[in-house]
A and B are shown apart, each in its own frame.
Chain A
């Protein structure tokens, strides 16, 4: 089991009530799961809790058999080996494409790092973009670089927050196809969040409805 969430409960603000309540989820290794729901249903919050960006009020999260949160333990985001592609991509504007991708793998030797960056750029079909800066890329290209950056350290779990929300309809089809291909190619366990059930179908993902 790659991800196991038991009875997860969380509130940003006690007065506003729980945004996630007694939520359960099991994801097998290599599986692609889509959390589908309207805005405010807490689907993005589940991602943030899984990534370690929020601390649950109660419940338990285990990633690859290890407790990430719960039982009075909390593993910081940087120690979870969970990759996340943000809705706005969050590419570091002061770093080149190459340095963005290499950001999470600076423990590798220089040669290995270079090789890995090149392989990832191949994977996302953006060879030769090493020296560009984020503002020189189109929206679709930015997303693929963000994906490459997230995949670089070889995460146990890939989280995609509304991956198709910033794209126009024409581009959307192509991106969905590309993304699907890359994920299947790498075989990484993936959870994506969307408000559109069509996205889930398209990605051949197991749908989990949230309300």
Chain B
């Protein structure tokens, strides 16, 4: 009855469309679980008895270590930026997000290239100082190296979430702690860290999901994880059934992580007893503390963005004029695929979020959970689910054609349709969150005012909601666009024959030790990502200023 009460307010069209979208998002995941009960592949026993434990171990070590280190690094930096003032702070408050513009697999080959025997560091030491150090000091291609790469390029997730959280905290909290005689480090560990635990855990769980999703770094470094194993059994051995089983195992790991996240975030939600909150005022740093803060922040920026970018520029310079036409070609493919897919995904998300808004909180929470599911599951797993689904569809088409003579000259597997569908499964959650937070900012009364003025749900949507959602749609578009530009595992598995994006080609060149060629493509990719990050952060800033004035 309660359900009916809320549904009645919307229009059935929106609910039907939403139900369709949700079903499409769920099918690939359900497919995998159902297939678990099917026949095991021929390699499964071997994998289970000899390799599985290794996959588990490696994946867990990578995920937990990177998650933990990124949590400390991100939370510490967020605290410095939120609570202190020093020269360069303004730039760093968005500059420290920039490591996200460099996909970890590009960072991995850049660092490996720098540290290798023929790389600039060792060459420099050899030629100018006659230093010949043991290669073990420079060995980057191991678990420790991978953890470093993940931490330095993914910590901004924690940084962003914690910084946003801290900017909403009350100044009197800190001031009263100081008046009670606590020094800054006590305040950080006793007040700030426990208070922002939820934000830090949320950011860190994003890092862990990215690590589990990653294919490029571990493949390049030769570390076996679930993702590489799925690739190997599928492409190397052509054993889809075993790949499915591995995918289920990876999903189990994810569910354990999600459960842990919930546990760590805790049921406790702190809220203020008063609505009148004065935001944190930043303390000016002087002397050695200032230098220390600058040294730390710029240091992280240097290793997470500046150094790899300079190295890439240098390589690109060495190969100048190399493959300009090819680069442009891949850039165009990436651009069109990313842009087109982002528009499609955003359209779907707008439909789902609009329905969520008209529904009871139970339904809208459920919709939010389902859309974000794809982002928690590693790309390689989604790829398996999507491929199974498309193969089933093709079989149905074939059946209709041979059985009933209905002409459907349509094959979906290994087409761009399949790839874009997979992107949608993976990134729908990001789009949904953008649109949903846009709706929350707008509130309900405009919608209701329009209804009482005689406009139905759909007309209200086009005349009122859509124009007011524009900023949220813009930042949602940019977020999905860069995610798709950087995306590797889904694209590698599901792309049509001869279809290459900047990401896949850069990774291929790097894997073939054609670093100079990879450099051009990587730079274009980083340029687009940086531009998108700049647009998103500076658009928000302008808006914040407008509110303050």
Contacts and interface: CB of A to CB of B under 8 A. Distances in A.
B449 A86 contact: yes
A93 B546 CA distance: 14
Contacts of A52: 451-452
Contact of A84 (B446, B452, B467): B452
Contact of A53 (B448, B454, B468): B448
A55 B468 CA distance: 27
B452 A55 contact: no
B455 interface: yes
A148 B463 CA distance: 19
B453 A76 contact: no
Interface residues of B, number: 21
A94 interface: yes
Interface string A149-186: 11001000000000000000000000000000000000
B456 A78 contact: yes
B2 interface: yes
A53 B467 CA distance: 22
Contact of B445 (A81, A83, A86): A86
B449 A78 contact: no
B456 A103 contact: no
A74 B452 contact: no
Interface string B286-298: 0000000000000
A101 to B, nearest CB: 10
A153 B9 CA distance: 22
Contact of B8 (A55, A83, A84, A104): A55
Nearest to B466: A94
A57 B451 CA distance: 21
Contact of A90 (B2, B8, B9, B448): B448
A26 interface: no
Contacts of A87: 445
Contacts of B454: 78-79, 81, 104, 153
Given A55-B8, A74-B8, A84 B456 contact: no
B452 A53 contact: yes
Given A92-B464, A94-B467, A153-B453, A77 B5 contact: no
Contacts of A86: 445, 448-449
B450 interface: yes
Interface in B218-264: none
A149 B453 CA distance: 8
A10 B445 CA distance: 20
Interface in A13-47: 14
B9 A55 contact: yes
Interface of B: 1-2, 5, 8-9, 443, 445-446, 448-456, 463-464, 467-468
Q: Give the 5 A-B residue pairs with the shortest CB-CB distance, closest first.
A: A104-B453, A90-B445, A77-B451, A90-B449, A84-B452
8 contacts: A51-B448, A57-B5, A78-B455, A84-B452, A92-B449, A104-B455, A149-B453, A153-B454
Interface of A: 14, 51-53, 55, 57, 74, 76-84, 86-88, 90, 92-94, 103-104, 149-150, 153
